[in-house]
Structure 1
Protein backbone atom coordinates (compact mmCIF):
# COMPACT_ATOMS: atom_id res chain seq x y z
CA UNK A 1 0.00 0.00 0.00
CA UNK A 2 2.83 2.39 0.84
CA UNK A 3 4.54 1.64 -2.46
CA UNK A 4 1.33 2.48 -4.34
CA UNK A 5 1.08 5.85 -2.58
CA UNK A 6 4.70 6.63 -3.39
CA UNK A 7 4.31 5.74 -7.06
CA UNK A 8 1.06 7.75 -7.21
CA UNK A 9 3.00 10.75 -5.88
CA UNK A 10 5.68 10.26 -8.54
CA UNK A 11 3.10 9.96 -11.32
CA UNK A 12 1.14 13.01 -10.09
CA UNK A 13 4.33 15.07 -10.24
CA UNK A 14 5.25 13.66 -13.65
CA UNK A 15 1.85 14.40 -15.17
CA UNK A 16 1.86 17.83 -13.55
CA UNK A 17 5.11 18.65 -15.32
CA UNK A 18 3.68 17.51 -18.64
CA UNK A 19 0.14 18.89 -18.41
CA UNK A 20 0.49 22.18 -16.53
CA UNK A 21 1.27 25.29 -18.57
CA UNK A 22 2.14 27.62 -15.69
CA UNK A 23 5.87 27.60 -14.95
CA UNK A 24 5.44 27.85 -11.16
CA UNK A 25 3.09 24.86 -11.24
CA UNK A 26 5.70 22.93 -13.25
CA UNK A 27 8.29 23.67 -10.58
CA UNK A 28 5.91 22.56 -7.81
CA UNK A 29 5.12 19.39 -9.78
CA UNK A 30 8.83 18.67 -10.11
CA UNK A 31 9.20 19.08 -6.35
CA UNK A 32 6.30 16.66 -5.75
CA UNK A 33 7.91 14.14 -8.09
CA UNK A 34 11.31 14.44 -6.40
CA UNK A 35 9.63 13.97 -3.00
CA UNK A 36 8.10 10.73 -4.28
CA UNK A 37 11.46 9.52 -5.59
CA UNK A 38 13.15 10.31 -2.28
CA UNK A 39 10.36 8.47 -0.43
CA UNK A 40 10.90 5.48 -2.73
CA UNK A 41 14.61 5.41 -1.91
CA UNK A 42 13.89 5.71 1.81
CA UNK A 43 11.44 2.82 1.57
CA UNK A 44 13.97 0.64 -0.25
CA UNK A 45 16.80 1.54 2.13
CA UNK A 46 14.74 0.80 5.25
CA UNK A 47 13.95 -2.78 4.29
CA UNK A 48 17.34 -4.16 5.33
CA UNK A 49 17.15 -3.15 8.96
CA UNK A 50 15.93 -0.55 11.38
CA UNK A 51 18.70 -0.34 13.97
CA UNK A 52 21.52 2.18 14.03
CA UNK A 53 24.91 0.65 13.21
CA UNK A 54 26.56 1.23 16.58
CA UNK A 55 29.02 -1.24 18.06
CA UNK A 56 27.37 -3.24 20.83
CA UNK A 57 27.48 -6.66 22.45
CA UNK A 58 24.16 -7.78 20.98
CA UNK A 59 24.48 -10.24 18.10
CA UNK A 60 22.26 -10.91 15.08
CA UNK A 61 20.79 -7.44 14.67
CA UNK A 62 19.89 -6.19 11.21
CA UNK A 63 21.45 -2.77 10.85
CA UNK A 64 20.28 -0.01 8.57
CA UNK A 65 22.80 1.02 5.94
CA UNK A 66 23.89 4.64 6.54
CA UNK A 67 25.08 5.24 2.96
CA UNK A 68 21.59 5.58 1.39
CA UNK A 69 20.67 8.00 4.16
CA UNK A 70 23.61 10.23 3.24
CA UNK A 71 22.70 10.01 -0.45
CA UNK A 72 19.11 10.98 0.31
CA UNK A 73 20.20 14.00 2.36
CA UNK A 74 22.40 15.05 -0.53
CA UNK A 75 19.50 14.59 -2.97
CA UNK A 76 17.25 16.77 -0.79
CA UNK A 77 19.84 19.58 -0.72
CA UNK A 78 20.47 19.38 -4.47
CA UNK A 79 16.72 19.32 -5.16
CA UNK A 80 16.21 22.42 -3.04
CA UNK A 81 19.01 24.28 -4.81
CA UNK A 82 17.67 23.33 -8.26
CA UNK A 83 14.19 24.44 -7.24
CA UNK A 84 15.44 27.80 -6.00
CA UNK A 85 17.48 28.31 -9.19
CA UNK A 86 14.41 27.59 -11.33
CA UNK A 87 12.31 30.01 -9.29
CA UNK A 88 14.91 32.73 -9.86
CA UNK A 89 14.72 31.99 -13.60
CA UNK A 90 10.92 32.29 -13.49
CA UNK A 91 11.24 35.59 -11.61
CA UNK A 92 13.49 36.92 -14.38
CA UNK A 93 10.99 35.74 -17.00
CA UNK A 94 8.17 37.42 -15.08
CA UNK A 95 9.88 40.80 -15.45
CA UNK A 96 9.62 40.67 -19.25
CA UNK A 97 6.37 38.76 -19.71
CA UNK A 98 2.96 39.59 -18.26
CA UNK A 99 2.13 35.89 -17.81
CA UNK A 100 3.88 32.73 -16.68
CA UNK A 101 2.10 30.45 -19.14
CA UNK A 102 4.74 28.60 -21.15
CA UNK A 103 2.80 28.74 -24.43
CA UNK A 104 2.42 32.53 -24.19
CA UNK A 105 6.10 33.00 -23.40
CA UNK A 106 7.08 30.85 -26.37
CA UNK A 107 4.70 32.79 -28.63
CA UNK A 108 6.08 36.17 -27.49
CA UNK A 109 9.74 35.14 -27.88
CA UNK A 110 9.70 33.41 -31.25
CA UNK A 111 11.42 35.38 -34.03
Structure 2
Protein backbone atom coordinates (compact mmCIF):
# COMPACT_ATOMS: atom_id res chain seq x y z
CA UNK A 1 0.00 0.00 0.00
CA UNK A 2 2.83 2.38 0.87
CA UNK A 3 4.52 1.65 -2.45
CA UNK A 4 1.33 2.62 -4.27
CA UNK A 5 1.27 6.01 -2.54
CA UNK A 6 4.93 6.55 -3.33
CA UNK A 7 4.43 5.71 -7.01
CA UNK A 8 1.37 8.00 -7.06
CA UNK A 9 3.55 10.81 -5.71
CA UNK A 10 6.13 10.19 -8.43
CA UNK A 11 3.43 10.17 -11.13
CA UNK A 12 1.79 13.33 -9.80
CA UNK A 13 5.13 15.12 -9.99
CA UNK A 14 5.83 13.73 -13.47
CA UNK A 15 2.47 14.80 -14.87
CA UNK A 16 2.86 18.19 -13.20
CA UNK A 17 6.12 18.71 -15.06
CA UNK A 18 4.51 17.78 -18.36
CA UNK A 19 1.14 19.54 -18.10
CA UNK A 20 1.80 22.69 -16.05
CA UNK A 21 2.78 25.78 -18.03
CA UNK A 22 4.00 27.97 -15.18
CA UNK A 23 7.73 27.55 -14.58
CA UNK A 24 7.45 27.78 -10.79
CA UNK A 25 4.82 25.04 -10.81
CA UNK A 26 7.14 22.91 -12.95
CA UNK A 27 9.89 23.34 -10.36
CA UNK A 28 7.52 22.41 -7.53
CA UNK A 29 6.36 19.37 -9.50
CA UNK A 30 9.96 18.30 -9.98
CA UNK A 31 10.49 18.62 -6.23
CA UNK A 32 7.40 16.48 -5.56
CA UNK A 33 8.68 13.84 -7.96
CA UNK A 34 12.13 13.79 -6.38
CA UNK A 35 10.53 13.48 -2.94
CA UNK A 36 8.68 10.40 -4.17
CA UNK A 37 11.88 8.88 -5.55
CA UNK A 38 13.68 9.54 -2.26
CA UNK A 39 10.80 7.97 -0.34
CA UNK A 40 10.99 4.91 -2.59
CA UNK A 41 14.71 4.50 -1.92
CA UNK A 42 14.12 4.81 1.83
CA UNK A 43 11.42 2.15 1.53
CA UNK A 44 13.80 -0.16 -0.34
CA UNK A 45 16.57 0.45 2.20
CA UNK A 46 14.29 -0.49 5.09
CA UNK A 47 12.98 -3.75 3.59
CA UNK A 48 15.44 -5.92 5.53
CA UNK A 49 15.14 -4.14 8.84
CA UNK A 50 14.69 -0.86 10.64
CA UNK A 51 17.68 -0.86 12.97
CA UNK A 52 20.88 1.05 12.27
CA UNK A 53 24.01 -1.07 11.84
CA UNK A 54 25.81 -0.04 15.02
CA UNK A 55 27.98 -2.52 16.85
CA UNK A 56 26.37 -3.79 20.00
CA UNK A 57 25.62 -6.86 22.05
CA UNK A 58 22.43 -7.79 20.22
CA UNK A 59 22.63 -10.53 17.63
CA UNK A 60 20.28 -11.77 14.91
CA UNK A 61 18.80 -8.33 14.26
CA UNK A 62 17.88 -7.30 10.74
CA UNK A 63 19.71 -4.08 9.94
CA UNK A 64 18.77 -1.46 7.38
CA UNK A 65 21.17 -1.12 4.48
CA UNK A 66 23.33 2.01 5.06
CA UNK A 67 24.44 2.48 1.42
CA UNK A 68 21.05 3.71 0.09
CA UNK A 69 20.82 6.00 3.11
CA UNK A 70 24.13 7.65 2.17
CA UNK A 71 23.04 7.94 -1.45
CA UNK A 72 19.76 9.55 -0.38
CA UNK A 73 21.52 12.15 1.75
CA UNK A 74 23.58 13.08 -1.29
CA UNK A 75 20.47 13.16 -3.50
CA UNK A 76 18.70 15.51 -1.08
CA UNK A 77 21.61 17.98 -1.13
CA UNK A 78 21.97 17.84 -4.91
CA UNK A 79 18.20 18.20 -5.38
CA UNK A 80 18.14 21.27 -3.14
CA UNK A 81 20.99 22.91 -5.05
CA UNK A 82 19.38 22.18 -8.43
CA UNK A 83 16.08 23.60 -7.22
CA UNK A 84 17.81 26.77 -6.02
CA UNK A 85 19.62 27.13 -9.34
CA UNK A 86 16.37 26.73 -11.30
CA UNK A 87 14.63 29.31 -9.13
CA UNK A 88 17.45 31.78 -9.80
CA UNK A 89 17.01 31.12 -13.53
CA UNK A 90 13.26 31.77 -13.23
CA UNK A 91 13.99 35.02 -11.37
CA UNK A 92 16.24 36.10 -14.26
CA UNK A 93 13.49 35.24 -16.76
CA UNK A 94 10.92 37.14 -14.68
CA UNK A 95 12.90 40.37 -15.09
CA UNK A 96 12.49 40.36 -18.87
CA UNK A 97 9.11 38.65 -19.26
CA UNK A 98 5.73 39.76 -17.93
CA UNK A 99 4.63 36.15 -17.27
CA UNK A 100 6.19 32.86 -16.25
CA UNK A 101 4.10 30.76 -18.62
CA UNK A 102 6.50 28.71 -20.75
CA UNK A 103 4.46 29.08 -23.96
CA UNK A 104 4.42 32.89 -23.63
CA UNK A 105 8.16 33.00 -22.96
CA UNK A 106 8.76 30.89 -26.08
CA UNK A 107 6.58 33.25 -28.16
CA UNK A 108 8.40 36.34 -26.91
CA UNK A 109 11.90 34.95 -27.42
CA UNK A 110 11.64 33.20 -30.79
CA UNK A 111 13.19 35.13 -33.70
Q: The TM-score by the shorter chain falls in which range?
A: over 0.9
Is residue 2:106 matched to residue 1:106?
A: yes
Residue segments in structure 2 that go unaligned for 5+ positions in a row = none
Is residue 2:18 matched to residue 1:57?
A: no
Q: Which moved more, 1:12-21 or 1:45-54?
A: 45-54
Cα separation, 2, equivalents of 1:51 and 1:103 = 49
Please name the residue that 1:84 is paired with: 84
**Root-mean-square deviation (Å):** 0.7
Cα separation, 1, equivalents of 2:32 and 2:71 = 18
Cα separation, 1, equivalents of 2:52 and 2:36 = 24
SS of structure 2 residue aligned to 1:6: helix
SS of structure 2 residue aligned to 1:59: coil
CA-to-partner distance for each residue in 1:15-46, whole Å, 9 max, x for gaps?
Answer: 00000000000000000000000000000110
Cα separation, 2, equivalents of 1:100 and 1:61 = 53
Aligned residues: 111
Deviation at 1:84, TM superposition (A): 0.4
SS of structure 2 residue aligned to 1:60: coil
Deviation at 1:57, TM superposition (A): 2.4
Residue segments in structure 1 that go unaligned for 5+ positions in a row = none
SS of structure 1 residue aligned to 2:50: coil
Instruction: Kindly report structure 1 stretches of 4+ aligned residues shifted beyond 6 Å.
Output: none
- Tell me the TM-score normalised to structure 1 length: 0.97
